[in-house]
């Protein structure tokens, strides 16, 4: 049985406390409505003209109204910053757990033998789905109740937008909330039933439980394939409601799957160095690194397809999405994300010997996680905070809080059952697995 290290537990609590305090500071210091009124008043005085000149006065009044609309938009973006920081980290860590559940279900559906010794690690990572779902649903609820301005299609001005009106049959608050709840409920249900069956299989070794888990895994993979498609549309792509891409959901899935497999590798190597996974050998680590490399190329494929087709066509409503990212203020993040997520793994993780070196895999994994966190950041921030982005207290605090909670939930879950899934009929094959 695994024992949760007191140092690691303290570390996770410190991260959560610091993160919670920082997030509170971010929400407390966000600009208030009166701030924009003061800005408008100052601008109006600056543009004030001679009252005797009626035409110029009317022009100034029109400019003042336009300025008011602009400043209100800027205010909304500034107010979105703590919400955006919360959403980025909440989505990132939740989807890591969900994609680990997907990877876990794939192992069951494929009846893979090599990965059985890693099942308890995967199950522990998926334990975060429940608290992660609760926190993300709080964000969805707050957005639906207009506590923030994250989704433009929820604003009253959307009624005057013919494009948004055409999409209102799908992009409406009640339907959006219901769908979000159903997505999260499904992920939690399948995580619960797969974990329950896995523990029961340890106790009895009943082949009927194995077959049941196989069936549930296949069903989950089919449901997830549909849900992830619409989930990406609902939660991320609708932040830019005038823009669309048929490849978007696949791109998001690829990014989070790389992150999920990377976390499996890091947790596995950590436990192995502490002596808790003696049945995990260098071949298992090698194969995890192979998946990290392979799905990094998979991510690059969807990135290139989505970007190249829209860049080449140069249709205004499509190119507008890439403008702030490719040539605007997000360019350093955009270029850096490509280097971290594609150039780095392509040049480094191809080497066979490096894939079997634990410290190298962990280093590569941390770099990949950084790159994909930046990827999620640049998926969300341009639409929510615009050009006024920065990586300060709200962003760092949200990252600390969710990272601390993530670490605590995973390693606490590891203490709940034996790390050896002895009831699985393929366990022996997994223990003697050797990559050739």
How much is the pLDDT for 43?
A: 47
Q: Is residue 312 part of a domain?
A: yes
| pLDDT reading at 16 higher than 50 | yes
Task: Classify residue 341: in a domain, yes or no.
Answer: yes
Query: Would you say residue 436 has pLDDT above 90?
Result: no
pLDDT at 9: 95
Query: Has residue 72 got a pLDDT over 80?
Result: no
**pLDDT of 259 higher than 50:** yes
- Is the model's pLDDT at 46 over the cut of 80? no
Q: How many domains does the chain have?
A: 1
Residue 160: per-residue pLDDT:
86
Q: Is the pLDDT of residue 83 over 50?
A: yes
The reply to whether 436 falls in a domain is no
Q: Give the whole-angstrom CA distance, residue 221 versus residue 340.
A: 29
Give residue 71's pLDDT: 73
| Residue-range definition of the domain harbouring residue 301 | 6-431
| Local confidence band at 38 (pLDDT 50, 70, 90 cut-offs) | low
Q: How confident is the model at residue 315 (pLDDT cuts 50, 70, 90)?
A: confident
Q: At residue 55, does pLDDT exceed 70?
A: no
Q: Which of 207-221, 252-266, 354-368 has the lowest mean pLDDT?
A: 354-368
Please state the three-class secondary structure of the chain as a single string: CCCCCHHHHHHHHHHHHHHHHHHHHHHHCCCCHHHHHHHHHHHHHHCCCCCCCHHHHHHHHHHHHHHHHHHHHHHHHHHHHHHHHHHHHHHHHHHHHHHHHHHHHHHHHCCCCCCHHHHHHHHHHHCCHHHHHHHHHHHHHHHHCCCCCCCHHHCHHHHHCHHHHHCCCCCCHHHHHHHHHHHHHHHHHHHHHHHHHHHHHHHHCCHHHHHHHHHHHHHHHHHHHHHHHHHHHHHCHHHCCCCCCCCHHHHHHHHHHHHHHHHHHHHHHHHHHCCCCCCCCHHHHHHHHHHHHHHHHHHHHHHHHHHHHHHHHCCHHHHHHHHHHHCCCCHHHHHHHHHHHHHHHHHHCCCHHHHCCHHHHHHHHHHHHHHHHHHHHHHHHHHHCHHHCCCCHHHHHHHHHHHHHHHHHHHHHHHHCCCCCCCCCCHHHHHCCCCC
Using a pLDDT cut of 70, give the percent of the chain over it: 91
- 89 occurs within a structural domain: yes
pLDDT band at 156 (very low <50, low <70, confident <90, very high): confident
pTM: 0.91
pLDDT digits (tens, 9 = 90+) for 318-374: 888 888 898 889 999 999 999 999 888 877 777 776 777 888 889 999 999 999 999
Q: Residue range 56-64: average pLDDT? A: 47
Lowest-confidence segment of 85-94, 101-110, 292-301, 382-391 by average pLDDT: 382-391
Reported as a single tens digit per residue, the pLDDT across 248-257 is 999 999 999 9
Asked whether residue 322 is assigned to any structural domain, the reply reads yes
Residue 1 lies in a domain: no
Banded pLDDT at 40 (limits 50, 70, 90) = very low
Percent of the chain at pLDDT above 90?
63
Find the distance separating the first CA and the last CA of the chain, reported in whole Å: 31
Mean of per-residue pLDDT scores for the chain: 88
pLDDT band of residue 42 (cuts 50, 70, 90) is low
| pLDDT, tens digit (0-9, with 9 covering 90-100), for 268-304 | 999 999 999 899 998 999 899 999 999 999 999 999 9
Indicate whether 44 pLDDT > 50. no
Residue 384: both structure tokens together? 């929510």
Would you place residue 1 in the very low, low, confident or very high pLDDT band (cuts 50, 70, 90)?
A: confident
């Amino acid at each position: 049985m695994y024992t949760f290290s007191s140092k690691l537990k303290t570390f996770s609590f410190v991260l959560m406390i610091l993160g919670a305090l920082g997030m509170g500071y971010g929400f407390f210091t966000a600009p208030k409505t009166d701030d924009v009124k003061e800005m408008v008043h100052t601008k109006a005085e600056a543009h004030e003209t001679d009252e005797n000149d009626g035409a110029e006065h009317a022009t100034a009044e029109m400019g003042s109204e336009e300025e008011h609309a602009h400043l209100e938009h800027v205010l909304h973006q500034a107010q979105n910053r703590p919400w955006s920081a919360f959403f980025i980290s909440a989505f990132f860590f939740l989807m890591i757990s969900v994609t680990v559940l997907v990877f876990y279900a794939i192992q069951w559906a494929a009846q893979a033998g090599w990965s059985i010794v890693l099942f308890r690690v995967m199950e522990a990572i998926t334990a975060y789905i429940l608290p992660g779902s609760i926190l993300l649903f709080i964000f969805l609820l707050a957005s639906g109740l207009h506590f923030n301005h994250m989704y433009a299609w929820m604003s009253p001005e959307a009624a005057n937008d013919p494009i948004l009106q055409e999409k209102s049959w799908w992009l409406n608050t009640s339907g959006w909330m219901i769908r979000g709840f159903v997505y999260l409920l499904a992920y939690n249900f399948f995580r619960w039933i797969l974990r329950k069956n896995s523990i029961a299989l340890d106790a009895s070794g009943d082949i009927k439980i194995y077959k049941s888990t196989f069936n549930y895994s296949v069903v989950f993979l089919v449901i997830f394939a549909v849900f992830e498609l619409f989930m990406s549309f609902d939660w991320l792509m609708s932040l830019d409601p005038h823009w669309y891409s048929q490849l978007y959901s696949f791109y998001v899935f690829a990014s989070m799957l790389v992150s999920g497999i990377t976390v499996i590798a890091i947790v596995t190597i950590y436990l192995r160095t502490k002596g808790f996974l003696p049945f995990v050998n260098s071949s298992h680590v090698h194969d995890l690194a192979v998946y990290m490399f392979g799905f990094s190329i998979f991510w690059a494929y969807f990135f290139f397809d989505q970007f190249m087709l829209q860049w080449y066509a140069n249709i205004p409503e499509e190119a507008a999405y890439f403008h702030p990212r490719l040539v605007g203020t997000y360019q350093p993040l955009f270029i850096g994300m490509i280097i971290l997520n594609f150039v780095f793994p392509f040049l480094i993780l191809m080497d066979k010997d490096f894939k079997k070196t634990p410290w190298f895999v962990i280093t590569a994994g941390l770099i990949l996680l950084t790159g994909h966190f930046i990827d999620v950041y640049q998926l969300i921030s341009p639409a929510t905070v615009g050009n006024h982005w920065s990586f300060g207290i709200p962003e760092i605090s949200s990252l600390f809080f969710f990272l601390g909670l993530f670490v605590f939930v995973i390693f606490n879950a590891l203490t709940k059952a034996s790390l050896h899934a002895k009831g699985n009929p393929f366990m022996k094959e997994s223990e003697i697995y050797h990559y050739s």
